[in-house]
Structure 1
Amino acid sequence: MSEILFLAHRVPFPPDRGDKIRSNHLLRRIAELAPVHVGALADDDADLAQEGAVAAVAASHCVVRRSAPLPLAALAALGQGLPVSLAAFSSARLRRWVAEVLESRPISAIFVFSGQMAQYVPPEFRGRVVMDFVDVDSAKFEAYARTGALPRRLLYAREARLLRRFEERVARRATTSLFITAQERALFESRLSFGVRPDVRTLGNGIDTALFDPAAVSPAPELSDAGPTIVFTGQMDYPPNVTAVELFAHEVMPRIRSVHGDARFAVVGRAPTASVRALEGVNGTVVAGAVPDVRPWLAGADIVTAPLLIARGVQNKVLEAMAMARPVLLTPAAATGIDGRDGEHFALAEAPAAMAERALALLADRAEAAVMGAAARCFVVAECGWDRVLAPLRMLISGLEADAA
């Protein structure tokens, strides 16, 4: 193996949100295999401030601030017939850097994290290309198009249509394409047109069980004088998370508070939208916003919930709560890709009334809830450690399996 080019749509530091957690662990593991050159985009000044962390693991790097506001990117995409996702993550400076690296360094493989970054892989590159789609983005926009309001539904439908075509072209160009769950892989393969089938595989998500260890963390002081507390964690400007907490606050919490009048619902995560902030005080909801560390909030939770109606791939928030030995209440969508069992490793429910019923049962039998939490931690320790999950990475990048065959 010579050297590797790693492309990511966000700076993989700090690993404090779902996509960055995955890209961070991938980058660190790849850097153990060979010298790695990192090209990434920065959303803001905080991302740019992580350039030193990138430099510490990279042989060379290029971190570029995304400068085009989303409305301008949308206009550019409409004018060029492109998905907005591509225009929003386009950078002439990053393209020049990629060309320079490929010309000057012995790059044998390019690892692409997230579909938007496939636009930077030159068609003339003859090495291996590993494309980590993570999940099927076009399917997510199809779901938005079914549930959103006009005129956004039309824009989402356009994005879904164009992204679907782009995703297939990328998969046919790549040596191997990766998805985070078998379900996402099967969904993607079912959407391919006729022809030679590209190599599509599953590479799951992991969890740092030493970091997320209930024995190492004390509950958040903010929860010390609270009644029963249900916690949600996540990026709070992400539409599926916004929809989830709104549903839980308005439709599930009244049922829970009819039995536990002092029950609270804590929404923990950066960048809460105006509609999320407006939930403060609604049916016992507390909008904590960004916190330095989510682990104390998980440690202090009586229940952690993930009531997602739209979810793609494995939810890091669920793995983190399970690793912290919390009883987790989640929808079937949020449980995708986690091969635990309902009633043993977590509690599944979908409709608001069913969610409230499962939550009340967990609150009524704290001993059983503790057993579920302990079983959840045992499950993720055994099945979801990053070493286990990323074991195939060397073969995927080097192609040794194909060479041996």
Structure 2
Amino acid sequence: MHLLFVTSIVPDGALASGYEIANAAIIAALRRAGARVTVIGFIWPGKAASDPENTVVLGAVDVRTESASALKKLSWVGKAMLSGLTFSSVKLRAVSDRDVRAAIERAGPFDGYVLNSVQFAGAFEKLLEDRPSLFVAHNVEHLSARENAAAAGGLFQRLLFRREARLLKIVEERLCRRARFVFTLAEEDRAALGVATDNRSAVLPLVTGASAPALKGPRRIECDAALIGTWTWQPNRIGLDWFLAKVVPHLRPDFRIRIAGHMPSGVTSVHPGVEFVGRVPDARAFVSGAAVIPLISTAGSGVQLKTIETFELGLPSVATGRSLRGIDHRPDNCVVTDDPVAFARSLEAAAADIRDVDGSAFHRRQVKALDTAIQLGLEKLGAVRREVFA
């Protein structure tokens, strides 16, 4: 079976974000199941596809809102309003329908699409209706947009997110309705998308790599807690704001917290132990230098890849309930609480008594469940194909 994996950004091997890590895990699982997978989409400027023989690149685009100029943002808003597309999809309208159709034809004969998230599928929806499809919902995007609207500071941004939520709900409903099978990354997302039956959807448990990550030698503890993330992504920013405003004030003044990643303007903390360190060369080495990992998600849907990596590494953690979405098994050294005071006390206790565990069992469990779920979807798609050609 030959599948065209349709995505906004094709893999370049960097695995710099949770989205890219998830894509790599899903593509690898499809191939383990015996499918031939060709990936089609855009590439980050200055990057190259990691698997060029099985990738069709439509061009280079930078879809990050935070790094775009004011003129570029205004252009995106204008195009979205005129076209009726979402803000997230209009960013991908950098090529014409004709160019996309020609690129699809260059991919050669194939049996179906894997529509990877809503952004590209929403941008070129009509072009992707000529084959049966599987839909991968990384998040329930309309709910995330609704949460972003509630957290927005300005009226214009709030109205933009509300529009995004309304349109995304319509597009997600269409994609789910047309898909032969839907994959989500968290159990609760199946119900939120209206596909919570076993013949319509399954959850994809994710991993961060083909094998369980291993720490190189004994850990050298350099701080009490460490966080790393794409803080310009609004759901992550909401969690960070909660942590800094609600949890950090209850921590001892000498509790050392390092926060890595690009930081949007306006994020500060008066706690003497908080240090914003910007980009770090090795994310895994950075988190491994912390006594405990705070898992602080309070918004969004889908799965938290930071949670999965923490569990794979066997590191101690304190997590909110939202941080565990999409996770069926919680290791013994993870404490769960949504109460800010209890969260702070648990961080201090974990840092004072560090308990690492073997994360390889968690990784094996995730891979086995991922492969089982992928097989279910491929069987649905294969059944449709047999009906068509019978």
- TM-score, normalised to structure 1, is 0.82
Output the amino acid matched with 1:55. P
> RMSD between aligned alpha carbons?
3.1
2:227 to 228, 232, 250: 232
Matched, 1:374 2:362: no
Indicate the SS of the match to 1:333. helix
Aligned twin of 2:58: 62
Alignment of 1:89-168 (within 5 A): 89-93=92-96, 95-103=97-105, 105-119=108-122, 120-122=124-126, 125-151=129-155, 152-168=157-173
Output the amino acid matched with 1:26. I
> 1:138, CA displacement in angstroms?
0.1
> 1:401, CA displacement in angstroms?
5.4
Matched, 1:184 2:173: no
Identity score, percent: 21
Q: Quote the Cα distance in structure 1 between the aligned partners of 2:42 and 2:105.
A: 21
1:383 to 365, 372, 375: 365
> 1:135, CA displacement in angstroms?
1.6
Matched, 1:80 2:80: no
Q: Quote the Cα distance in structure 2 between the aligned partners of 1:125 and 1:252.
A: 48
Which runs of no fewer than 5 residues in structure 2 stay unpaired? none
Indicate the SS of the match to 1:154. helix
Indicate the SS of the match to 1:275. coil
Indicate the SS of the match to 2:226. strand
Deviations, residues 240-265 of structure 1 (Å, cap 9, x unaligned):
222333332343233221xxx42211
Output the amino acid matched with 2:115. V
Q: Quote the Cα distance in structure 2 between the aligned partners of 1:78 and 1:121.
A: 17
Aligned twin of 1:207: 208
- TM-score, normalised to structure 2, is 0.84
Deviations, residues 7-29 of structure 1 (Å, cap 9, x unaligned):
11123232121000011222344
Q: Quote the Cα distance in structure 2 between the aligned partners of 1:238 and 1:38.
A: 25
Matched, 1:361 2:366: no
> 1:361, CA displacement in angstroms?
2.6
Quickly say closer, same or farther: Cα 1:282–1:198, change in 2 above 3 A: same
Matched, 1:243 2:238: yes
Q: Quote the Cα distance in structure 2 between the aligned partners of 1:125 and 1:107.
A: 13
Deviations, residues 65-96 of structure 1 (Å, cap 9, x unaligned):
24783332122112233322221222324x33
Does the CA-based 8 Å contact 2:204-2:369 persist in structure 1?
no
Output the amino acid matched with 1:168. E
Corresponding pairs, count: 374
Does the CA-based 8 Å contact 1:136-1:188 persist in structure 2?
yes
Q: Quote the Cα distance in structure 2 between the aligned partners of 1:100 and 1:402.
A: 25
> 1:159, CA displacement in angstroms?
1.2
